[in-house]
Structure formats: structure tokens, C-alpha cells
Amino acid sequence: MTTGQLHLNAFLMNTGHHEASWRLPESDPFAHVSLDHYIRLARIAERGSFDSLFLADGPQLWSNLAQRPAGALEPLTLLTALATATEHIGLIATASTSYNSPYNLARKFASLDIISGGRAGWNIVTTAGREAARNFGLEHEPAHADRYARAGEFLDVALKLWDSWEDDAIVGDKAAGVWGDDTKVHPPRHQGTYFSVEGALNVPRTPQGYPLLVQAGSSEDGKEFASRYAEAVFTAQQTIEDARAFYADLKSRTAAAGRDPDHIKVLPGIVPVIGATEAEALAKERELEDHIVHDHGVANLERLLQLPLGTLELDRLLPSDLPPESAVEGAKSRYTLVVELARRDRLTVRQLIGRLGGGRGHLTFAGTPEQVADAIETWFTQGAADGFNIMPPVLPSGLDAFVDHVVPILRTRGLLRAEYGPRQTLRERYGLPRPANQYAQPVHA
Amino acid sequence: MTTGQLHLNAFLMNTGHHEASWRLPESDPFAHVSLDHYIRLARIAERGSFDSLFLADGPQLWSNLAQRPAGALEPLTLLTALATATEHIGLIATASTSYNSPYNLARKFASLDIISGGRAGWNIVTTAGREAARNFGLEHEPAHADRYARAGEFLDVALKLWDSWEDDAIVGDKAAGVWGDDTKVHPPRHQGTYFSVEGALNVPRTPQGYPLLVQAGSSEDGKEFASRYAEAVFTAQQTIEDARAFYADLKSRTAAAGRDPDHIKVLPGIVPVIGATEAEALAKERELEDHIVHDHGVANLERLLQLPLGTLELDRLLPSDLPPESAVEGAKSRYTLVVELARRDRLTVRQLIGRLGGGRGHLTFAGTPEQVADAIETWFTQGAADGFNIMPPVLPSGLDAFVDHVVPILRTRGLLRAEYGPRQTLRERYGLPRPANQYAQPVHA
């Protein structure tokens, strides 16, 4: 059971998480490349004293241009610009361990952490899909287990690089002409299966030591990885029972890995569709569903389920002979979630597309501000969540609605800070300790 | 002979280009990781209506910590933060073609170009040195010619990626539910020697089409590369005769490559040491030289000349049997420049270290504001330069001095704009056309 501070993360995605959000009159079709749009969103989230904001990513063009906004500003670049437009909120960027070099990526996160005053976070992904692989010289997607093996080594190298300067390596002795202490620099000299990295990072140790480590895969490999490295986990859970089971499992794996289970924060995603009355909220949800183009939804579902195009029919159930998760090399946990959702609620393809259109498998919750706050409080106090990944269906209006109407209720109930107070690092916001440097000698009393 | 607008680029480097600058009382030993320091510098350069500012880079720790400030914020990250703190100035980041993937780097520059409103520039480097190679899984530095072959293919792929969306690919038709036009997206489908890149970029075409392409290698390979791709070239030239020869050579190579020679701007570096009187300027120069730690200088020189440590003696000339540039795999043009400088002026190792300490081979010019302006005007009007890469020995004071005292003279003489006027892209500042999209059909009248 969790008590105390509820953690809130704002998952920002161009015109909103509902796939048809861009078609609403209020939406800007160019929002995905508008710095002003993202600054506005970041400031709304700060008004709601959110712990952090977050950007998803993959190094490929996700979809056809016809169906919805495609492409995005690269997250580390966009978050750096947002760092200068905000003061308190944490800034979490997605980046791939499969399609980056540890030296380059470690530098970029270290630089963002310094520029933001210790507010950087890294959502570590291994990047499913052949499309990404083929943008980086590979013919096929690497196998799921291989991607995670590489991710583990990537983290080990990155952690060495971030620790390669001790905190007090810079001396700045002008009179003696000695700027730094070379005995406090520790080149990784790493020789591994996937990487060889010899030299120290060319950035000093940062305010947080290194970015907050975030993870979002819920497959077996994903959970094992999270238990070793992650300090916050985003997850898609449709019911409180599933969420409690996931929460308990992850905490116990983390303890088994020798870590304090309180040092991994679990944040399920929620797509809040907010109305002054329940009827108004449901009407908003219907308006969005009415804007879905079903042909696109069918093609996307066939791609996710790895079926030939033209297999699915709108008004029938999913085929009963889909392969098990273990046979899938793509986004395993998402695959299972979608299949289980369709089977549990006996959804036709059309109904499934409607449900996925809102939050791509995350929990969509339509209701009044009180009802949304009740759901959040219940999950939080019943051991299903340390906080939530808030995924407004429409942006900016859905984030405004959450901050204006749900946040005050959470504050009144003592679940959420009333304001930020003094500046803190992202890790401090999440109640996590600053990591020690693996190379520093312990100080003897 | 060049006429009209003189172009100015501010080459920013922590406490200044003189290696001993950090030891002056005014200098902040932590300037290299201070966003505020760089914002201050960028705003001084904007006050001087500079065309652009520029950050050097290499993916390795350059030097021992003992000798001088080491490490830096990653340039693309820092420039993104500076984009939000400035309005007019161009932002040129160094990035390596040897140690990046085209897809990742093309995205980052496209994102910076969008965020800055068309002010991004890329200083393309191939990165000399074994240290960098060993941070990316290689045992040895790739051969010079190999690095340039990879750079050429990298540029071809990057240009395809930047053109992979036509300018009008986004339609935004909400009523029809059609966001974009897939016939205006052109996946590179590139299969080459160094890279295979299948898919389109996940960023739309940017205000400039792509970042201004800048280059700074002056070897044979470097000049050939520049003549094909570069729109601006930074170069180190010690005399006006050498600079005129370089200028004429590069313009003629560019014409031979089928390009307009006016579409490549040549900017020699200059380290201006400015005093109210000549004596004051020379005293400033001496003060800096007095702060050099010669042991470090000897080691650095031995590394550049690829000699065993302990070969050089402070008060003797360089050895007469140094290998020719063709035998060197590192920074070829810099090697030759240093050797020729030492031989031409018959400098001892101590004297050479003093000369290099100011600008690492770039022209150091100590004098009054009038004298500095005269030198600039002479080079500019005598066919030696389209502008200058200004490398203040001490920062911020040296940039302040240039903007407060030299810039007004250049403006009075009609060489430099009095103010920026309306917003322009970086390419517009340099008087260059926006590149056409290689995939777009010409419009028939």
C-alpha cells in the first residue's frame, strides 16, 4: 500500500492521445512541430505541479501521413528547449538503446541534466519493429532477447560514463595552474559483447549524477530489466486487479534484485476524458470516436498483430488462432494487452479500434473531475500505482481540464503537493536518492 | 574581390581561445558547463549583429584535466537552449560523420532548425584521433581518406533524409480526415558502402530545408569535400598571401564542381587581442602568455606531431626530419600549418607554444580597434575572406571588446549591417539561396 505523495507525469503527444484528436476544430494540425505548443503544454503541467513530462519516440516514421500527424521534433532536442521555458518540472525523453551509441547518448543526457538543473530523465526503450532497424543498416529487427541484452550492456556502459568524473574532479586552482584532478577521472575501458568504450565522458558529473532511469516495457524481459535499472515505470493496465498484480510483481522483482522496492515508482497510464457531468464526458468520448477513420485502424491493428493486410473484418471478433506472445518479436506486452482486451470484453474489430483509439491500450476513463480523482485515489491507495502517467485525449484542452478540475481535488485530499516549493531535481521530486558514484572512495568518518 | 556585407561568426569556447584564459582573475573555471555563460556570450554576439555563433566538438575528452578546462556541453543540446534565448543569430554545431548515424543526426539538426526558426548550421567534421575511435568500438582511427569517403556518403544520405518530405506534404484536411499526402514523402531507400537507410525522416522539411553546411578541414580531401557540399568554410591562415591563395583555390574548386563560387563563404579565424593602445594590447597578450604552463604545451605538440613523449626540447627548434603531411592520418591541415609556422618564423618549441596558445594555429592579432578593423577590411577587400571567424582569447571580455569597439568601426565603414532588421534564416544572413527539394517536381509556368 502506498501513502503520501502521488506522482504525476504528463505524457505529451502533439494534439493529444486520441488518434482522431487532430480533427477537432480546436486542434492545430502543425502542433507536432510547434515549439510554442509544447511550451504551452509544459507550463500547464507546471501549473498542476506535475513531477515530470514525457515524450515518446522511435527513430522511424510511424504511420502513413494520410491518417494522422506523423513525425515529431526529436525528444532530447525539444526537451532542451522546454528546459529553458520551465523551472520545476522533470523532462523525460525516450531514446533507444538499439539505435544509439552509449557515448553519444550519455553525453546528451548529461548535457540536458546540466542545462535543466538536474531535471533530466531517460525513458529507455529497445525499439520494436523492422522499420527502425532498416533505418540503421539492419535488414531485420533484432530478436527481443537480443535487444534487451544490448540494453543491459548499454546501461552498464552509460552508468560507467556518467560516473567517469567524480563529483569533485574540478579543482579550478588558478594560481597553481591546475584545473582538474586527473586521479578523479575514471575511463570505463569497457570491452563487451555489444560495445567497446575506452575513454571517460567529456562532460562532468551532473546535478543528478545521471538522468532518472525510466522504463515502459511490461514483457518478462522488460520487467527483469526494470527491476535492475528502472526508477520509474510507465505501464498500460486496464483493470485495478491487473494493475495491483503488476505493481506487486515489479516491487518484488526489484527487492529480489537487491534494490529498495520503494526506489521504483509505478505509473500506469490513464486517458482522462473529463466533463462537468458524466453525460458530458461520454459525449466527448463519442465525438472523438466519431472522428476515427476505421480503415486506418484496421491496418494498424493488422500491423500490431503481425497479420497480412486484409485479414481483419470490422464487425467480427479477432481470429481465435493468434500466436502466443512468446512467438512475437515486436512489442510483446502491447500485443498481449490488445489481444486480452479484445477477448475479455468480446470486442469486434470496430469496437477494439474505438477502445484503442483513445489511448492505444491505456485505460480510458470518462467522467467528472470527482470520478477521475476517485479512480486515481483508489488505484493509488490500493497498491496499484505510485502515481499516474496522464495522457490527455486532446491537447492542450485535456491537460487544462485535468489541471483546472482534477488537480485541485487531489490537492484538497492531500494526495498532491499544493505547489512546488524550492527547486528540486527530478529524482528528488520522485522521492529517490541521488546515486553514489561507483568509482568514488567511501569517505571514512 | 569581395564587396558588400562582411560575415561574422563568433567561435565560442568556454573561457576563451587562449589556453591560459581560465587562469585570469575574471574567468569562471566552470564556464564550460554554464548555460548562463553561453547565453551571455550569445547575446553579446547578437548585440554585434553577428551572422552566427559556433561550437567546436569531438566525442572524446580532449586533454588531461590538470592543464585546462576539459569537457563541454554537447553542442546540439547547448545550441537548442541558446535558440530559445536568442532571436536572430545563426547556431552552428559541430558533429562527426564518423561517429554518428545519418538518421539520428539528420533528425537532430532538422529539429534544431525548426525550433530556432531556420537558424541551424552543421560544421561537418570527420574527427581525427584514436581517442574518439576507441569510444565507438574501433581499435584504430579510420584512415583519413576513408573518413572522407564516409563523410561524402553521410552527406548524400542526410540530404535525402532532409528532402524526404516535400515542403507541402502536410495537408491538414480535418473534414476529409486526411492529414498528409503520402505521395509527397520519399523514403531514401539508400544502400551504400557505409550506410543503408530505408525510410523517410520522421521530421517534416524545415524552414531552411536543411541546416547550413559548414566545413573546416583544409587538407586536399577536406577542400574537395568543401567544394561539393560546404556553404561556409572556417580556415586557419597565418598570412594574407596564404589566405588569398586558399580563397582562390576553394572558389575555383567550387566552380569546377558545378556550383556558384559565391555560394561558398570563406571565413578565416582571427584571435583579436584588443587594447585602447597597441602597447595595451601587447601587454594583454603577454599576460596570457605568462600564464601558459609549458610542460602541457610540449605534450600537446608532441601529440599533434605524432612524436614520442619527451622528444621535444623547449628551447630548440622542431626536429628537421618530421614526416610530410601525406604520411599523417590525423588532422592533416593543422599538422602542416603548425610545422610551416615554426619553420617560417624559426620558432623554438617555447615560442611555438606561445604562438599556438593564443589560437591553436589561427591568426592572433594584437592591436587597437582601428588596427583590428583595418586588418579585417584589408583581408575582406583583397580577396582573402568573405568574413571572419572571431575567436576571442578571453570570454566574455574579449567578445565584449570586439562588439563594443571593433563592430562600430566596421559599421561606420559600411562593412557590417547596423542591426539585424527582420528575422532571417541563417542561410539568408549569409546571402545563400534556400535549397530546392531534390524530389520535388519543378513547377511549370
pLDDT tens digits for range B283-314 = 999 999 999 888 888 888 898 888 888 899 99
Q: Which residues of A touch B101 (CB under 8 A)?
A: 99, 136
Place of cell 491487473: A242
For B197, the enclosing helix (H) or strand (E) is strand B196-197
Query: What is the predicted pLDDT for the residue at B1?
Result: 37
CB atoms within 10 A of CB B194: 16
User: In angstroms, rounded to a whole number, what is the distance separating the alpha carbons of residues A248 and A254?
Assistant: 10
For B274, the enclosing helix (H) or strand (E) is strand B265-274
More confident residue, A19 or A41: A41
Q: Which residues of A touch B77 (CB under 8 A)?
A: 76-77, 80, 108, 111-112, 115
Quick check: A323 and A231 in contact, CB under 8 A? no
DSSP bridge pairs for A235 = A268
User: How does residue A443 score in pLDDT terms, banded at 50, 70 and 90?
Assistant: low
User: In angstroms, rounded to a whole number, what is the distance separating the alpha carbons of residues B174 and A299?
Assistant: 20
Quick check: B33 contacting A, CB < 8 Å?
A: yes
Domain residues of chain A, as ranges?
7-271+386-429
How many contacts, defined by CB atoms under 8 Å, are there between A and B? Answer: 224
DSSP state of B121: E
User: In angstroms, rounded to a whole number, what is the distance separating the alpha carbons of residues A357 and A402?
Assistant: 20
pLDDT > 90 fraction of chain A, expressed in percent and rounded: 81
Pick among A67, A80, A141 to test the B interface (most B CBs inside 10 A): A80
Determine the average pLDDT of the residues in B49-65. 93
Burial classification of residue A55, based on how many CB atoms lie within 10 Å of its CB (0-12 exposed, 13-18 middle, 19 or more buried): buried
Task: Indicate whether A51 pLDDT > 80.
Answer: yes
User: In angstroms, rounded to a whole number, what is the distance separating the alpha carbons of residues A133 and A136?
Assistant: 5
pLDDT > 70 fraction of chain A, expressed in percent and rounded: 98
DSSP state of B33: G
Summarize pLDDT for B361-371 with one digit per residue, the tens: 788 999 999 99
Quick check: B189 contacting A, CB < 8 Å?
A: no
Distance of CA B72 to the CA centre of its chain: 16
Where is average pLDDT lowest: A235-239, B151-155, B275-279, B396-400?
A235-239
Task: Indicate whether B176 pLDDT > 90.
Answer: yes
Residue of chain A with shortest Cα separation from B33? A114
Residue of chain B with shortest Cα separation from A73? B111
User: How does residue B4 score in pLDDT terms, banded at 50, 70 and 90?
Assistant: low
Nearest-by-Cβ selection for B179 from A65, A76, A85: A65
Quick check: B77 contacting A, CB < 8 Å?
A: yes
Task: Indicate whether A410 pLDDT > 70.
Answer: yes
Q: Which residues of B touch A64 (CB under 8 A)?
A: 180, 182
More confident residue, B444 or B99: B99
Quick check: B299 contacting A, CB < 8 Å?
A: no
Measured N-to-C along each axis, helices A220-229 and A144-162 cross at an angle, to the nearest 10 degrees, of 10
Determine the average pLDDT of the residues in A99-120. 98
Task: Indicate whether B237 pLDDT > 50.
Answer: yes
| Distance from the B422 Cα atom to the nearest Cα atom in chain A, whole angstroms | 20
User: Whole-prediction pTM value?
Assistant: 0.94
Q: What is A7-271+386-429's CATH topology?
A: TIM Barrel (3.20.20)
User: In angstroms, rounded to a whole number, what is the distance separating the alpha carbons of residues B69 and A429?
Assistant: 32
Nearest-by-Cβ selection for B108 from A27, A60, A77: A77
Among residues B292, B255, B307, the alpha carbon closest in space to that of B67 is found at B292
Query: What is the predicted pLDDT for the residue at A174?
Result: 96
State the ipTM, two decimals: 0.94
Determine the average pLDDT of the residues in B271-278. 97
b/e burial code for range B132-166 (CB count within 10 A of at least 16 → b) = bbbbbbeeebbebebbbbbbbbbbbbbbbbbbbbb
Nearest-by-Cβ selection for B35 from A115, A174, A179: A115
Instruction: Find the angle CA(B354)-CA(B355)-CA(B356) to the nearest 5 degrees.
Output: 95
| Distance from the B181 Cα atom to the nearest Cα atom in chain A, whole angstroms | 6
Task: Indicate whether B227 pLDDT > 80.
Answer: yes
Quick check: B136 contacting A, CB < 8 Å?
A: yes
Quick check: B253 contacting A, CB < 8 Å?
A: no
DSSP state of B49: T
C-alpha cell at A57: 519516440
Pick among A198, A206, A208 to test the B interface (most B CBs inside 10 A): A198
Question: pLDDT averaged over chain B?
Answer: 94
Where is average pLDDT lowest: A18-27, A49-58, B58-67?
B58-67
Task: Indicate whether A4 pLDDT > 70.
Answer: no
Query: CATH for B7-272+364-429, among 3.20.20.30, 3.40.50.2300, 3.40.50.300, 3.40.50.920?
Result: 3.20.20.30
Residue of chain B with shortest Cα separation from A174? B23
Task: Indicate whether A324 pLDDT > 50.
Answer: yes
Among residues B403, B432, B434, B431, the alpha carbon closest in space to that of B419 is found at B403
User: In angstroms, rounded to a whole number, what is the distance separating the alpha carbons of residues A365 and A388?
Assistant: 13
User: In angstroms, rounded to a whole number, what is the distance separating the alpha carbons of residues B108 and B119?
Assistant: 13
Instruction: Find the angle CA(A380)-CA(A335)-CA(A309) to the nearest 5 degrees.
Output: 145
Among residues B157, B148, B156, B154, the alpha carbon closest in space to that of B217 is found at B148
Question: pLDDT averaged over chain A?
Answer: 94
Quick check: A107 contacting B, CB < 8 Å?
A: yes
Quick check: B85 contacting A, CB < 8 Å?
A: yes
CA dihedral A48, A50, A52, A57 (to 10 degrees): -60
CB atoms within 10 A of CB A5: 17
Quick check: B227 and B253 in contact, CB under 8 A? yes
Place of cell 582569447: B393
b/e burial code for range B366-400 (CB count within 10 A of at least 16 → b) = bbbbebbbebbeebbeebbbbbbbbbbbbbbbbbb
Measured N-to-C along each axis, helices B240-256 and B369-381 cross at an angle, to the nearest 10 degrees, of 40
Query: What is the predicted pLDDT for the residue at A182?
Result: 95
Quick check: B193 contacting A, CB < 8 Å?
A: no
For B340, the enclosing helix (H) or strand (E) is helix B332-344
Summarize pLDDT for B64-120 with one digit per residue, the tens: 898 889 999 999 999 999 999 999 999 999 999 999 999 999 999 999 999 999 999
Quick check: B352 and B342 in contact, CB under 8 A? yes
